[in-house]
Structure 1
Amino acid sequence: MSQLDSTIANDISKLARTVEVPAGTRLFAHGADCAHFVRLRSGQVRVQTVSPQGREIVLYRVHPGESCIMTNACLMSRRPYAAEGVTETACTLEMLAQPDFDRLMQESAAFRQWLFASCGERLVELMLLFENVAFQRIDIRLAARLLESGEHSLALTHQQLASDLGSSREVISRQLKEFERRGWLRLGRASLELLDPQALRALAATV
């Protein structure tokens, strides 16, 4: 994502309230009002949407130095959240009140440029996500997801993978068992081990 100018970052730090939150904290919920601009100093936040049936899909993750475009859009439009944000690790947040955010938007061209560039980059990511969910086979997407970290031992549950890929846990479980049947991986309790990354890589490269 686009990097914020150090001068503006320092201005935000001076005005912001620093908050420490543990892993698993819901920072905002669907339908809630937004009153603060938030910049992540450390940790990782998952932004997701949840269907009435409880099915989750991860829209994106926020990393250190970034802000949440869902939050920024709500601040600018004065509309409530359309998704929820959950900390995946312990996080340090810089929280800026709405009036200070509005002033920065009015007075700082550098801040506006960074904010709009971040929104544009995230929008492209979301378009690719929706394209993959709508048009790409789940086995191909699952293979690519398993290879993302470059590790052979992964601490992932079937539900986590389903949320990341916008699928159901049952579909992911069936596909993982098929991969295991082929000898590509070994399933464990809330974990799995990749036995044949090359086969997964070949599948992930399928057009």
Structure 2
Amino acid sequence: MTDAPDGTLATLYPVLAALPAAARQRLQARAQVISMPAGATVFDELQACHGFPFVLSGGLRVVKAAPNGRELPLYRVTPGETCIISSACLLGRAPYNARGIAEVETRLLLLPNADFQALLDEPAFRDFVFQLFSERIADLMQLIEEVAFRKLDQRLAALLLGKGPRLHVTHQQLADELGSVREIVSRLLKGFAEQGLVALAREQVAILDPAGLRRVAGV
């Protein structure tokens, strides 16, 4: 492995310090650093999973794509985290069932499948993987609840409130985060503007009435 100092990796993933020396040496020798430009597809549906990714810098957006091209964001993976879909595919020896996209220029440390399976014999690493499963499943359950039970205007209002008083974002980016289409989000934003909740400008949304947005969001 090159271009991934052990100190940097251990800082991002402290669990690795709990591994026996032989396991750490195996990881260092076998894992490979991969650089991906912004917007690159890191993995795609039905592709085989060849390794376990550690994110060194940048980040991934994991989405579920529909046949019509729409995407539902599932979660993000930032440095110090890892991808449970990759873990599930390796554990189940199954292909990917979602798509991973580099949000910005991203560097990954990819641990081959055989070495991932060997590390699972180490209690500290096994606990780390299953703790991630627990956290991500909780996040995905919340996403399912929002999609199934909250109207899109409520979800949009909550999304706006979580991004600060002034957003530098396109309607398409908001639609992507909500798993919707730009035309619907634009129509909802226009309605918010007519109610005096927000002010719209090119690639900007300014929140004028946070309390009003909270009422819409139901929070």
TM-score when normalising by structure 2: 0.85
What CA RMSD, in Å, does the superposition of the two structures yield over aligned residues?
Answer: 1.9
Report if the CA contact (8 A) 1:26-1:85 is conserved: yes
Q: Residue 130 of structure 2: which of 116, 122, 130 is its match?
A: 116
Amino acid of the structure 1 residue aligned with 2:32 = R
1:159 maps to 2:172? yes
Inter-partner Cα distance in structure 1 for 2:36 and 2:66:
26
Alignment partner of 1:198 is 2:211: yes
Q: Match of 1:75?
A: 90
For residues 129 and 178 of structure 1, the distance between their equivalents in structure 2, rounded to whole angstroms, comes to 24
Partner of 2:17 in structure 1?
Answer: 7
**In the alignment, residue 192 of structure 2 is paired with which amino acid?**
F
Distance 2:103 2:50 in 1: 22
| Structure 2 runs not aligned, ≥5 long | 1-12
Q: CA deviation at 1:13?
A: 4.9
Residue-by-residue CA offset, 1:122-154 (whole Å, 9 max, x unaligned): 0111111011101112111111101112x2221
Q: Secondary structure at the match of 1:96?
A: strand
Which secondary structure state, in structure 2, belongs to the residue aligned with residue 5 of structure 1?
helix
Query: Does the Cα contact within 8 Å between 1:184 and 1:195 map onto a contact in 2?
Result: yes
Residues paired across the two proteins, number: 202
Q: Distance in 1 between matches of 2:180 and 2:49?
A: 29
Deviates more, 1:22-31 or 1:160-169: 160-169
C-alpha displacement of 1:196: 2.1
The aligned residue for residue 139 of structure 1 is 153
Partner Cα distance (1:75, 1:131) in 2: 27
Partner of 2:139: 125
Please give the per-residue CA displacement for 1:103-122, whole angstroms capped at 9, x wherever unaligned. 111x2111111101101110
- Does structure 2 conserve the Cα–Cα contact (< 8 Å) formed by 1:28 and 1:81? yes
Q: What is the TM-score of this pair, normalised by structure 1?
A: 0.90
Q: Between Structure 1 and Structure 2, whose CA radius of gyration is higher? A: 2
For residues 4 and 132 of structure 1, the distance between their equivalents in structure 2, rounded to whole angstroms, comes to 33
- Matched position secondary structure for 1:79: coil
In the alignment, structure 1 segments of 5+ residues that lack a partner are: none
